[in-house]
A = this chain, B = another copy of it.
């Protein structure tokens, strides 16, 4: 497993993508599908290394159970797809959106699929693509399923991304002082991350890269999804909750810490410690075979038993992969098992209006025997009181 923890920053080789395609085809065969249609840019990126974003000109990846996958894309974008894709594909080009009769996207797409075929489609497929898709449609998220357990290459890329954001988080803790504006924290950390990223991956893909940093000061940190405004100032004391993360050339990662500027106000120690106990239990339980909903239930119980049950606002954690938020979920309602090679965040939280928020989050790999934290920052309260 140690070997797995070597950072990788090179683009995927074709074999890597062929392996991913084979995983998807195994699932297609189990469901007796003749085709699978992918419109979700995240899934298309996973299989091909080509990143698009959804706009009015559709890109559609059509995977037959045998033979070469086909990419339906606009004339204008064909060379763009070819320069990025590292999976062998046939290109089926349409004229424009909209287009003269006979040359619209659906007019080149529909002849590719027989009306008698069994066609797997994503649950996020938009109605307008579904309406134009021939055959019997079976809604099944098999690419998402293939993405759950990471390959060695994906783990290496994630290790690289986690090293990067951990360094970014160090900068964040240096910059944050009482009075420092959100904008400065964001700008300084982002500048650092982008310079480092460009040095490591000179031809990084802009469409799957979005890194950032934020801190919610104690007057806001009770509201974990508050979107900070540029002129929001840091405050004395705490709890501040930091976050550095995003998508590093296609790999979603995060690190978050509860920290203090100068001193720890009264009444803060107890919720902080309860949060840390809940977190410790999550790490103890996060190993192969553990049921995700069970972890969430027991971690919540620690918080509830300490009297903070009505201060919980979210689940214990979520999966990471191409995005920073994806299946599986450490949540009541997700009864799947943890499997070696899964990447999850562990981040139970407590939120008290008038006091603030309490949450550490890390990007964590499930190993054969347990788990390993891929991000790195101080964890104990005494190490998180920044002198001002």
Contact = CB atoms under 8 A, between A and B. Distances in A.
Given A225-B77, A332-B100, A334-B98, A126 B124 contact: yes
A333 B98 contact: yes
Nearest to A313: B76
A230 B207 CA distance: 13
A332 B103 CA distance: 11
B230 A204 contact: yes
Contact of A56 (B202, B225, B326): B326
Given A99-B332, A100-B332, A206 B224 contact: no
Given A125-B127, A333-B99, A227 B84 contact: yes
A97 B330 CA distance: 10
Contacts of A79: 223, 225-226
B207 A231 contact: no
A100 B333 contact: yes
A152 interface: no
Interface string A80-91: 100110000000
Number of copies of this chain that the complex holds: 2
A70 interface: no
A365 to B, nearest CB: 21
A51 to B, nearest CB: 9
Nearest to A202: B231
A166 to B, nearest CB: 23
Nearest to A206: B227
A75 interface: yes
A56 B327 contact: yes
A206 B228 CA distance: 9
A163 interface: no
Contacts of A313: 75-76
A76 B225 CA distance: 7
B123 A126 contact: yes
B76 A224 contact: yes
A330 to B, nearest CB: 10
Interface string A140-181: 000000000000000000000000000000000000000000
Contacts of A80: 223, 225-227
A130 interface: yes
Interface string A87-112: 00000000011111100100000000
- Helix, strand, loop or mixed for chain A's interface? loop
A281 interface: no
A131 B315 CA distance: 25
A229 interface: yes
A20 interface: no
A329 interface: yes
A339 interface: no
Contact of A227 (B130, B205, B223, B230): B205
Interface string A5-40: 000000000000000000000000000000000000
A231 B229 CA distance: 32
Interface in A225-240: 225-227, 229-231
16 contacts: A56-B318, A56-B327, A75-B314, A79-B223, A80-B225, A80-B226, A83-B226, A84-B227, A97-B331, A97-B333, A100-B332, A122-B127, A123-B131, A124-B126, A125-B127, A127-B139
Shortest beta-carbon contacts, A-B, top 10: A98-B333, A123-B128, A203-B229, A124-B126, A80-B225, A100-B332, A79-B223, A99-B333, A76-B313, A76-B314
Given A56-B329, A96-B333, A204-B230, 6 more contacts: A76-B224, A76-B225, A79-B223, A98-B329, A98-B331, A123-B131
